[in-house]
Chains A and B, each alone.
Chain A
């Protein structure tokens, strides 16, 4: 009820800016995608049928979404334990931890991405260690693989997952965990039955951010993934800037927007089941 009482005019300045600078270009983009020729003279759905009628492009959409899901899963796998550790740490340790968590956000994504080349390359850190320890006889292939890309995205996107997760988990009553343990639940059972459901709102916020930014991470995808892994963002760049096929690039863009949006809506829908009150 209170939300409705707040004056709508408070949102007007930003609303108008969004309308002019975001909604209008988006409509233009949609308009361009509905043209049949590169000079934007004829209307038609030709580029839409070309895109969706081709197994290769459908595969690119699928790979892009799969990359987003993989990034979310791997990030979650590492974020939950870290968030748990954070919530149980002393305030002093928490300060150090929050600094380390925020550290990746303080450097540009380009630099972070190139740092991963140094780590994953044939003569990079990981391979030097693996060869020195005798874990592998020949250098492992990590750069330009999906595994390497997901690994790098995990580090690059980690703060986006950790921060919402920590802020929700810090608000949890520690007595709940004690109660669960006292009632005979083991560590894992307590995690899955108590902590996981209660921290779900934070996870959904984090997963939304990680999913959206991993799907659209143009720089990381092209530098670490290389040319053999084709995702929608690099396809858009190629079609718009090298080939000058704007209608087709617009189709790719609208597709990326809608599919990522669908993913986000699915996460939101999941949020309905996360109500704790």
Chain B
């Protein structure tokens, strides 16, 4: 009997749980799986609970999955906050999935460089993309995007396509080196076709770090976060900005259209932007480049000051998004064996 009663009590608890999560003093935020999930659980969630007595539940989803989920929900917000890269953010904005952000509710707004807090987005972290290589195998690192396609580097290169933000912008920059532009990636396709028999791997983006760790590849293009994370695990990896300039893009938080907990979502964004959170998020193993001007940059980040960002290459995703499906399709066709 006792066990049955216990079971019923347990079932009641399970059934009641969703309503607790939706009660006042709580909210749900989508978060990238992996490092972001760990980092925000460890640093932003306690801060939010401590300062506002708000409990945040995290839902680990990649950017594209978040947008797909909100679109599929058709008006019923499945969570309160997005975390997105510029490509999915532009697509979500076009589909009208964002709520306005009230700058009066963001106490840290004044500590952000210009343009980082807009009507519907708050930049919480910037990513820097360049070339990663194994310094033990290559004492002389590749210097430019073009070097990746020359011997001895090309034989150890791990390629990835247009599925991710960092993959897309890297390939665009390579196209530029060979005479292309954001709207004309023809030259990089020609180059890819030429080097395909030589490259060490053509991989899905998620498998790249594993391939690097196992020595299947020794060169890849990726962001400094990935490089720092692998370095933290004892992998021989170094980051180098190509001579054409490293690429930068923002990771942004947004409030989902029709979100249930708008006030708490503002508090969550504010907590993530605070100097307290940002100074901890930049440390190993999270390695996220901060945006709050009050934060002193840590030495593990591969950049010295936020001013460097203004010299880096940026991209207009409203130009990229309409073309991306075609590029992905073409990449499929031309690299398939």
Task: Indicate if A131 sits at the interface (CB-CB under 8 A).
Answer: no
Which residues from B are CB-within-8-Å of A118?
Answer: 214
Given A144-B202, A227-B203, verify A235-B332 contact (CB < 8 Å). yes
Partner of B201, one of A143, A241, A243: A143
A228 to B201, CA, bound (A): 9
Interfacial residues, chain B to chain A (CB-CB below 8 A): 62, 64-65, 67-68, 71, 91, 159-161, 163, 196, 200-204, 206-207, 210-211, 214-216, 324-325, 328-329, 331-333, 335-337
Which residues from A are CB-within-8-Å of B216?
Answer: 117, 121-123, 143
Are A227 and B325 neighbours in the complex by a CB distance under 8 Å? no
Which residues from A are CB-within-8-Å of B62?
Answer: 241
Task: Indicate if A245 sits at the interface (CB-CB under 8 A).
Answer: yes
Which residues from A are CB-within-8-Å of B335?
Answer: 227-228
* Additional A-B contact list (9), CB under 8 Å, known A144-B202, A244-B68: A117-B211, A223-B206, A226-B203, A226-B207, A227-B202, A238-B332, A241-B62, A243-B328, A244-B91
Given A56-B332, A117-B214, A241-B65, verify A223-B337 contact (CB < 8 Å). no
Which residues from B are CB-within-8-Å of A223?
Answer: 204, 206-207, 210
Interface residues of A in 232-264 (CB under 8 A from B): 234-235, 238, 240-245
Which residues from A are CB-within-8-Å of B331?
Answer: 227
A118 to B210, CA, bound (A): 9
A201 to chain B, nearest CB (A): 37
A229 to chain B, nearest CB (A): 7
Given A117-B207, A118-B214, A121-B211, verify A226-B68 contact (CB < 8 Å). no
Given A238-B328, A243-B325, verify A226-B204 contact (CB < 8 Å). yes
Are A240 and B202 neighbours in the complex by a CB distance under 8 Å? no
Contact size range, A: 20 to 34
Given A56-B333, A228-B337, A238-B163, verify A122-B200 contact (CB < 8 Å). yes
A210 to B228, CA, bound (A): 40
Which residues from A are CB-within-8-Å of B207?
Answer: 117, 222-223, 226
Task: Indicate if A271 sits at the interface (CB-CB under 8 A).
Answer: no
Are A240 and B68 neighbours in the complex by a CB distance under 8 Å? yes
Task: Indicate if A195 sits at the interface (CB-CB under 8 A).
Answer: no
Are A122 and B214 neighbours in the complex by a CB distance under 8 Å? yes
Are A123 and B336 neighbours in the complex by a CB distance under 8 Å? no
Interfacial residues, chain A to chain B (CB-CB below 8 A): 56, 59, 114, 117-118, 121-124, 143-144, 222-223, 226-230, 234-235, 238, 240-245
Which residues from B are CB-within-8-Å of A56?
Answer: 332-333, 336
A143 to chain B, nearest CB (A): 6
A148 to B324, CA, bound (A): 31
B322 to chain A, nearest CB (A): 11
Are A222 and B204 neighbours in the complex by a CB distance under 8 Å? yes
Are A227 and B160 neighbours in the complex by a CB distance under 8 Å? yes
B166 to chain A, nearest CB (A): 14
B2 to chain A, nearest CB (A): 28
Which residues from B are CB-within-8-Å of A238?
Answer: 163, 328, 332
A134 to chain B, nearest CB (A): 20
B336 to chain A, nearest CB (A): 5
Are A114 and B210 neighbours in the complex by a CB distance under 8 Å? yes
Show 25 A/B contacts (Cβ-Cβ < 8 Å), sorted by A: A56-B333, A117-B207, A117-B216, A118-B214, A121-B215, A122-B215, A123-B214, A123-B215, A123-B216, A143-B211, A223-B204, A226-B201, A226-B204, A227-B160, A227-B203, A227-B331, A227-B335, A228-B196, A234-B204, A241-B62, A241-B68, A243-B324, A244-B68, A244-B71, A245-B325
Which residues from A are CB-within-8-Å of B336?
Answer: 56, 59, 228-230
Which residues from B are CB-within-8-Å of A244?
Answer: 67-68, 71, 91
